[in-house]
Amino acid sequence: MGDNKKYSSWIKIISIIIPLVVAGLFTVKIEYELPIFLPPIYSSINGLTAILLIIAFVAIKNKNIKLHENLMKICIGLSLVFLIMYIAYHITSTSTIFGDVNKDGIRDASEKAEIGRELYVYAFILISHIILSIALIPMVLTSYVRAIQKQFDPHKRIGKITLPIWLYVTITGVIVYIMISPYY
């Protein structure tokens, strides 16, 4: 039980620090042009993570524990790489405005009229993606800790909730990129 308390404290700390640091870094702008355009790369990482999550789910259903374990570690690693690239892009680039057809940094009334209700769809997907990605942090960490502690019943219970949310976050990450990419 002592390990659970220790891990629980770390999970809470990490789950609070990551969103705060990411939010804080949105106020930082570094005058540096990255040698590559990161959004399609980190969007692809989201897509790959979604595919690997599905394969990991199939693996565990087929009792292939080692494959499931390895794929889940890869998914966690890919999520960290995504986060690093996401932060790197946003601290070195001006935020793109959805619907800014002429790319002047302002979505004026005519542009808003042109995109219509698509703005609301985009905003819903983006906001739900962000909120669930924050909620996902303690879920993934708790699920992972339960697995490494060989507490498979609690791992399975949290995994049943974590998997669909993680899939939603990764898939909507790709959708958000596809929707905003014309405005880069």
DSSP structure string for the chain:
-HHHHHHHHHHHHHHHHHHHHHHHHTT-------SS--HHHHHHHHHHHHHHHHHHHHHHHTT-HHHHHHHHHHHHHHHHHHHHHHHHHHHHSPPPPTT-TT-SS---HHHHHHHTTHHHHHHHHHHHHHHHHHHHHHHHHHHHHHHHTT-HHHHHHHHHHHHHHHHHHHHHHHHHHHHHGGG-
Residue 61 covered by a domain: yes
Identify the pLDDT of residue 148.
Answer: 95
Identify the pLDDT of residue 2.
Answer: 59
Residue 69 banded pLDDT, cuts 50, 70, 90:
very high
Identify the pLDDT of residue 111.
Answer: 95
Residue 105 covered by a domain: yes
Q: How much is the average pLDDT of 140-150?
A: 96
Residue 12 covered by a domain: no
Which domain covers residue 172, as residue numbers?
Answer: 36-183
Residue 2 covered by a domain: no
The pLDDT tens digits of the residues spanning 35-65 come to 999 999 999 999 999 999 999 999 999 999 9
Percentage of the residues of the chain whose pLDDT score is greater than 90: 93
Identify the pLDDT of residue 26.
Answer: 87
Residue 4 covered by a domain: no
Residue 30 covered by a domain: no
Residue 1 banded pLDDT, cuts 50, 70, 90:
low
Identify the pLDDT of residue 37.
Answer: 95
Indicate the number of domains in the chain.
1
Q: For the whole model, what pTM was predicted?
A: 0.93
Residue 11 covered by a domain: no
Q: How much is the average pLDDT of 132-138?
A: 98
Identify the pLDDT of residue 6.
Answer: 81
Q: How much is the average pLDDT of 121-135?
A: 98
